[in-house]
Amino acid sequence: MNLTLKIWRQKGPQSKGKMVEYKVTEISEHMSFLEMMDVLNEQLTNKDEEPVAFDHDCREGICGMCSMYINGEAHGPDRGVTTCQLHMRMFKDGDTITIEPFRAKAFPVIKDLVIDRSSFERIQQAGGFISVNTSGNTQDANAIPIDKHAADTAMDAATCIGCGACVASCKNSSAMLFVGAKVSQYALLPQGQVEATDRVKNMVAQMDLEGFGNCTNTGACEVECPKGISLENIARMNREFFAASIKG
Amino acid sequence: MSVLDSKVPKGPLKDKWTTYKDKINLVNPANKRNIDVIVVGTGLAGGSAAATLAELGYRVKAFCYQDSPRRAHSIAAQGGINAAKNYQGDGDSTYRLFYDTVKGGDYRSREANVYRLAEVSANIIDQCVAQGVPFARDYGGLLDNRSFGGVLVSRTFYAKGQTGQQLLLGAYSAMNRQIARGKIEMYNRHEMLDVVKVNGKARGIIARNLVTGEIERHSAHAVVIASGGYGNVYFLSTNAMGSNATAAWKIHKKGAFFANPCYTQIHPTCIPRSGDYQSKLTLMSESLRNDGRIWVPKNMEDVLAIREGKLKPTQLSEEQRDYYLERRYPAFGNLVPRDVASRAAKERCDAGYGVNATGEAVYLDFKSAIERYGLEQAKIQGIQDASKEKITALGEAVVEEKYGNLFQMYEKIVDENPYKTPMMIYPATHYTMGGVWVDYNLMTTVEGLYCIGEANFSDHGANRLGASALMQGLADGYFVLPYTIGDYLSHEIRTGKIPTDSPEFDTAEKEVTERINFFVNNKGTHSVDYFHKRLGKVMWDKCGMSRNADGLKEAIAEIKAIREEFYKEVKVPGSANEMNPELEKAGRVADFLELGELFAKDALMREESCGGHFREESVEIDGEQKGEAKRNDKDYAFVAAWEYKGEPSDAVLHKEQLEFKDIELKQRSYK
């Protein structure tokens, strides 16, 4: 198929960006979206133009590196996938496709479609861990049985890949699905209880400091999340935060 | 005597590590605060090492090329992690895990290292659970296990099909805790481009800031390389797009020997390639072989009808199917080790039985499993006379619970529903057992330079068993390196801060800058990918699942020719002082073009078949094992460690003889 692409080009963090139009031809429907981008970049390189910079790595939907806003949706029109898992069979011959970076105040653009997500790193550093040293002397893994449902729900929350689609999809640029998922994973497990109070307070404080907005329950994040992280995690985080605030 | 000293401690195998740890030199906590360690790579090995070293009190600088340590490619490991916990009471033990790993590796690994790996495996599970890794559990709340290829026990712990992700997020959380405490300085979007040696010791690295293009100097008392494998030398592999051998290759060029480059794992269950535009291959976890049965049609007319779309695989009766693994290897069936399963798939496809248009695909079928689980569930739920549809629905639910995310991945890529029609799979490059040579301390042949995880050669011999990569990465990083590096660093307490304005740093930085300037100024005619794809084709055709002397000699000549053309004709757009992904690729492919040649040279030298290295000249001629790989222990029971001398053709071979005191060398039989 033949396509028209409108892509956000921005030379550097301080430069002014703009949408630039490109044509690509003979795209196979079996290609992944990023393979289509490879074709474009090969074409640009051969014409001595600078290829479009975009983040990508594993190309199997798990590393969370890819981050394109395609036709007004984070990771494009398919559900439950990252950009790298999106296939060209979702598009038709002659389509015009608009490609932008994930946009949020806390995700500044570095170049073209590449953004800086270090705000997510700092939130995790504020409390996204259990304080246990590596010693070889921790208790046996089966010493504390954990309710299967709790373990499964914790696992569901823990599958977040930290891509930032939730933030990009939210009209408030809220990161509460991302933070809620991490808070929930630990809140659901006995190992996480000791530090629960400080964890939720510190992570939420850092989230606010980074300039992310608040949740107003529109649910766009849940729809666009490639890993199907549930809104329940936000509710759980709010409960944890409330409880932590009362404890002082 | 060989120049290689493995430094394996004396004494009985079972006591080596414990006795060694008891006698190792320690560093006083006050001194640790003044010692710097650089860790390059933040996957399971690098991430766990950085976190543990920081916990111990060292000042750690960690580097990764991704925008976060959490994105290292360990994240993509699906199936699980082995540990000799014997929670299932099925006869597992440290010795059995050790034995399975040595046997699975076709007796080409170092006994003492493997035993230590098996010994610390149980600690890994305890540590990860303490960190909050949500492993799968049963209804009693205890940890669940599954089986992997090449073993007869269930010792694999898992977190759905995302075990690597959960383990890496565990190590990442441990890192975050140390970053917050200021004990780890994290350098995201940085790539190491050379190691700096001062008086023979590794004292730092030159790194490029991938956002600004700035070249930076970082010094340390020891440098740890944890940069993963070199599978992308094949261009197409299950590795991430950015996975590269640059750190490992640069240290090789500075004196670290490179061992067994020809030992590469071609994983049997990957989604087949569909066209020339393909940028990477996707793995379908080995855990699927617990429940999936592998087959091709028995009759050629059915193969042709399927390829033409006139026949569906589901229409073939049991009698019309050739479950070739079950037929050839009745004892292990679909759970034979990866190298055996891959070669068997190739054998069927080479014979013309491949089931897709390219002729390179076999079926992985879940029909029997769905039926079996469905009947089981119907019984459990007390459903009398359940209809066929009901049984299928119940069975599908069980399969979804176990492998849901893998099935979804498959469906998104191939556009077929694997619950209803068998998956198509074909082998693909997945893991490299070869790597930087290290001694028992995980130190390379350069003092103060360590190499851990997939980047080193140590534990898997000529073939790695499933769920053992995660085990090795975390064993190295959490439980081995933090001890062994202390022994070296105990001699560094009086050294003081290493300056970065020395002539050694000047020279290293100059070399790096010149190389970068060369690429951006070359203005050739072809993109980096053009050369990478050509290299990949030579590697796959001539250094792939089966190899012969003529092919390997051709490969050596062809790779050299591609390399020469690359330096003349490569085109890198953009400049050096900005984010420039093409420039990053150029440097990595330049290194693959050297490594690939050494790979072929190593494969040519090893005139035996062992593990993932199959030489067509070395097969069993008759008897029960006819056609199977033939190892030659008399002449080749050694580690081939190559010393860099300029061109790959000049590399000098050093042999580390492998001694097996606790295991009898046998032909691997999975029949």
Q: Rounded CA gap, B479 and B484, in Å? A: 9
Interface mutation target, options A44, A57, A160, chain B, most CBs of B under 10 Å: A57
Distance from CA of B124 to the nearest CA of A (A): 8
Name every chain B residue with its beta carbon within 8 A of the beta carbon of A53: 579, 581
Question: Is residue B2 predicted with pLDDT exceeding 80?
Answer: no
What is the full per-residue pLDDT of chain A (248 aa) written as tens digits?
999 999 999 999 999 999 999 999 999 999 999 999 999 999 999 999 999 999 999 999 999 999 999 999 999 999 999 999 999 999 999 999 999 999 999 999 999 999 999 999 999 999 999 999 998 899 999 999 999 999 999 999 999 999 999 999 999 999 999 999 999 999 999 999 999 999 999 999 999 999 999 999 999 999 999 999 999 999 999 999 999 999 86
Q: Which residues contact B132 (CB under 8 A, 6 or more apart)?
A: A130, A154, A185, A186, A189, A191, A192, B170, B173
Identity of the residue numbered B317: S
Taking residue A140's Cβ as centre, other Cβ atoms within 10 Å add up to 12
Asked if residues B435 and B248 have their Cβ atoms less than 8 Å apart, the reply is: yes
Question: Is residue B575 predicted with pLDDT exceeding 80?
Answer: yes
Q: Kindly determine whether residue B76 and residue A145, on different chains, have CB atoms separated by under 8 Å.
A: no
Considering only CB atoms, B582 lies closest to which of A51, A116, A185, namely A51
CB interface of B with A, residues 59-88, below 8 Å: 66-68, 70-71, 73, 75-76, 85, 87
Question: Is residue B276 predicted with pLDDT exceeding 80?
Answer: yes
Q: Kindly determine whether residue A124 and residue B173, on different chains, have CB atoms separated by under 8 Å.
A: yes
Q: Is some CB atom of chain A closer than 8 A to the CB atom of B284? A: no
Asked if residues B218 and B36 have their Cβ atoms less than 8 Å apart, the reply is: no
Q: Is some CB atom of chain A closer than 8 A to the CB atom of B18? A: no
Q: Kindly determine whether residue A116 and residue B67, on different chains, have CB atoms separated by under 8 Å.
A: yes
Considering only CB atoms, B527 lies closest to which of A42, A55, A148, namely A42
Distance from CA of A13 to the nearest CA of B (A): 10
Distance from CA of A159 to the nearest CA of B (A): 8
Give the mean model confidence (pLDDT) for residues B411-431. 95
Q: Rounded CA gap, B212 and B190, in Å? A: 10
Q: What is the pLDDT of residue B405?
A: 83
Considering only CB atoms, A60 lies closest to which of B66, B188, B409, namely B409
Q: What would the pLDDT profile of B15-32 be if each residue is shown by its tens digit? A: 999 999 999 999 999 999
Q: Is some CB atom of chain A closer than 8 A to the CB atom of B188? A: yes
Considering only CB atoms, B412 lies closest to which of A51, A81, A158, namely A81
Of the given ranges (B240-244, B325-329, B623-627), which has the lowest mean pLDDT? B623-627
Structural domains of chain B ordered from first start:
13-265+430-489 (3.50.50.60), 270-429 (no CATH), 503-631 (1.20.58.100)
Q: Kindly determine whether residue A130 and residue B125, on different chains, have CB atoms separated by under 8 Å.
A: no
Question: Is residue B105 predicted with pLDDT exceeding 90?
Answer: yes
**What are the φ/ψ torsions at residue B40 (nearest 5 degrees)?**
-105, 115
CB interface of B with A, residues 513-542, below 8 Å: 527, 529
SS percent in chain B: helix, strand, coil, step 5:
45, 15, 40
Q: Is some CB atom of chain B closer than 8 A to the CB atom of A32? A: yes
Q: What would the pLDDT profile of B602-649 be if each residue is shown by its tens digit? A: 999 999 999 999 999 999 998 888 889 999 999 999 999 999 999 999
Give the mean model confidence (pLDDT) for residues B341-366. 95
Percent of chain B past pLDDT 90, that is, above it, reads 92
Considering only CB atoms, B134 lies closest to which of A124, A131, A155, namely A155
Q: In chain A, count of helices (H) and strands (E)?
A: 8, 7
Question: Is residue B1 predicted with pLDDT exceeding 70?
Answer: no
Q: Kindly determine whether residue B130 and residue A145, on different chains, have CB atoms separated by under 8 Å.
A: no
Asked if residues B601 and B651 have their Cβ atoms less than 8 Å apart, the reply is: yes
Q: What is the DSSP letter of B478?
A: I
Distance from CA of A183 to the nearest CA of B (A): 12
**Given the structure tokens 């469905």, which residue do they identify?**
B374
Catalytic residue among B70, B108, B289, B338: B338
Distance from CA of A138 to the nearest CA of B (A): 6
Alpha-carbon torsion (B157, B159, B164, B167), positive or negative = negative
Q: What is the pLDDT of residue B151?
A: 87
Q: Rounded CA gap, A102 and A91, in Å? A: 21
Q: Rounded CA gap, B433 and B436, in Å? A: 10
Q: Which residue of B has its CA nearest to A40?
A: B277
Q: What is the pLDDT of residue B671?
A: 83
Distance from CA of A127 to the nearest CA of B (A): 7
B290 vs B592, higher pLDDT: B592
Q: Kindly determine whether residue B241 and residue A45, on different chains, have CB atoms separated by under 8 Å.
A: no
Q: Which two tokens stand for residue B49?
A: 């090492």
Distance from CA of B426 to the nearest CA of A (A): 17
Which of B664, B639, B662, B601 has its CA nearest to residue B458?
A: B639
Q: Across the A/B interface, how many CB contacts are shorter than 8 Å? A: 210
Name every chain A residue with its beta carbon within 8 A of the beta carbon of B573: 44-45, 48-51
> How confident is the prediction for chain B on average, in pLDDT?
96
**What are the φ/ψ torsions at residue B428 (nearest 5 degrees)?**
-150, 155
Distance from CA of A227 to the nearest CA of B (A): 9
* CB environment B488-516: b (16+ within 10 A), e (fewer): bbeebeeeeebebebebbeebbeebeeeb
Q: Kindly determine whether residue A65 and residue B67, on different chains, have CB atoms separated by under 8 Å.
A: yes
Q: What is the pLDDT of residue B490?
A: 97
Interface mutation target, options B143, B175, B176, chain A, most CBs of A under 10 Å: B176
Q: Is some CB atom of chain A closer than 8 A to the CB atom of B411? A: no
Torsion of CA B348, B349, B350, B356, to 10 degrees: 160
CB interface of B with A, residues 597-636, below 8 Å: none
Give the mean model confidence (pLDDT) for residues B153-179. 96
Q: B338 catalytic, yes or no?
A: yes
Asked if residues B124 and B478 have their Cβ atoms less than 8 Å apart, the reply is: yes
The ipTM value here is 0.98
Q: What is the pLDDT of residue A146?
A: 97
Q: What is the pLDDT of residue A205?
A: 98
Q: Is some CB atom of chain B closer than 8 A to the CB atom of A114? A: yes
Give the mean model confidence (pLDDT) for residues B521-543. 97
Q: Is some CB atom of chain B closer than 8 A to the CB atom of A1? A: no
Structural domains of chain A ordered from first start:
3-111 (3.10.20.30), 118-247 (1.10.1060.10)
Q: What would the pLDDT profile of A109-168 be if each residue is shown by its tens digit? A: 999 999 999 999 999 999 999 999 998 899 999 999 999 999 999 999 999 999 999 999
Which contiguous run of DSSP H or E holds residue B588? helix B581-605
Give the mean model confidence (pLDDT) for residues B229-243. 98
Q: Is some CB atom of chain B closer than 8 A to the CB atom of A128? A: yes
Q: Kindly determine whether residue A78 and residue B132, on different chains, have CB atoms separated by under 8 Å.
A: no
Question: pLDDT grade, residue B267 (50/70/90)?
Answer: very high
Considering only CB atoms, B180 lies closest to which of A63, A125, A185, namely A125
Q: Kindly determine whether residue B173 and residue A161, on different chains, have CB atoms separated by under 8 Å.
A: no
